Amino acid sequence: MGILFLTSVPSLLLSIALATQPIPAFESKKELNLLSSVSQQEEHFILIEEEELSDKTELMIENLQQRKDYTLDRGEACRYIMDTYEILTGKKPKIVLENPFSDVDADSQPFILQAYHLGIVNGKGDDIFSPSEELSRSDFVILLYRLIETACPNVDLSGGEDIVFEENVAKAATIPLQFAYSRGLIDIQNNGKIELDNVLTLGEVADILHEVIEIAPEFPVKYAKFASKRAFLTFDDGTSENTAKILDILKEYHVKATFFVTGTCDEELLQRMQEEGHIVGNHTNSHKYEVLYSSSDAFWNDFNTEQQYLENILGTASPFMRFPGGSNNSIGMKNGVMGDITTQAKQNGYFYVDWNVDSGDARGNNVPKDVIVHNVLNGTSGKNQVIILMHQTKPKQTTVEALPEIIEGLQAQGYEIRPMTEKSYMPRFVK
């Protein structure tokens, strides 16, 4: 097809460009038809302005906090997809002057036409786009894959081919889902399933796209297999000589954990936790119940002291926290402050994490190793996701001795052991 130049419009470089779907990565998979009920390939004729450089570096979503639980539709998804495209490429998306859709307003919804003409999204019929139709997790993953392939044409998208999902995955979504899961862009829900048919919320999409921007352009593989069962090892309180032993064991087994630390700790051990990929969370400075739970102000003064201390050492403020005694501790509940504190924690952007498996190592000094192992491996019964409570202080030598058996036992039960993330399952005694 030739190229037509219209010299009568000097401000525009006008061309007619042909874009066919599916894009090259899917030419061998004819079954893939992105977000469309149309099975045949489409020809997209594009009338565009020449590209301009962009200085946009951050994805901005208006009123995200208030709207995070809203479901996402196809039209709004295109808006954020094209904003992400602009950030990844460093160029403003080209303005499209041809509108093939009777239900799309070119002036207020230019991002739909841009995404369509780039081959990222299809229409739903001859002249219909259906911008208000809700978007499923499966559809969004396909759209996400096409975005990355379009914005980063030289990126290696392989690495997830061996991942097999327990749920029924449509052929069209298999490769995109393998990519997204292997890069940690999409994960299982609290019930241990991907839930591909469920609609996405705005908050979920924001998290996914922020992660895309964060890990681009390398998109390193994080997970090479699918596991519907997850275990999170957590260790509370201040560091001790046992901490180094715990870190050595975790390194030997190639697993990551989450440490909720208290008070003044060994700075080298804190830095080692961070360097080796573990998560460091705040377990308050004093760990004194009578101080912490005397009032919400007293709690946050103590908590913020520890938060500043950790930030000075690690260079970043962790969003993860654990209440001494858990969010339903007896003193805080008796004083009537836990409801206020837990609400304030969420309002301040913190993720407070309780547990649903207790190792029992806090019931005394050097609880017998076999008891600790039994408590953990029996406590997992019937659970797809487990947050395991353990401790790292000096009297917890038997916790160290139990750890290898716990790791091997969890893996034998089919659990994948991971560090905490903002998307992780988080049991909370007080909601």
Which residues participate in catalysis according to the annotation?
236, 391
Q: What end-to-end distance do the CA atoms of the chain give, in Å?
A: 61
Half-sphere exposure of 272 (CA within 13 A, CB side): 14
Q: How far is CA 142 from CA 53, 76, 130, in A?
A: 27, 16, 17
Give the Cα separation of 265 and 247 in Å (integer). Answer: 15
Q: What is the DSSP code (8-state) at residue 324?
A: T
Output the six-digit token pair for 226: 């699918």
Output the six-digit token pair for 295: 């009032």
| Peptide bond just before 319 cis, omega within 30 deg | no
Q: Under DSSP, is residue 425 helix (H, G, I), strand (E, B) or coil?
A: coil
What pairing do the DSSP bridges indicate for beta strands 43-46 and 91-92?
Answer: unpaired
Note whether 276 and 250 are within 8 A (CB): yes
DSSP H stretches of helix in 90-240: 110-117, 137-151, 171-182, 202-215
Quick one: CA torsion of 128, 131, 137, 139, rounded to 10 degrees?
A: 30
Nearest 5°: the CA angle 255, 258, 262 is 145
Give the Cα separation of 358 and 326 in Å (integer). Answer: 12
Give the Cα separation of 133 and 71 in Å (integer). Answer: 10
Dump strand ranges (E) for 283-338.
Answer: 320-321
Q: Which residues of 114-143 are buried (b: 16+ CB within 10 A; e: fewer)?
A: bbbbbbbbbbbeeeebbbeeebbbbbbbbb
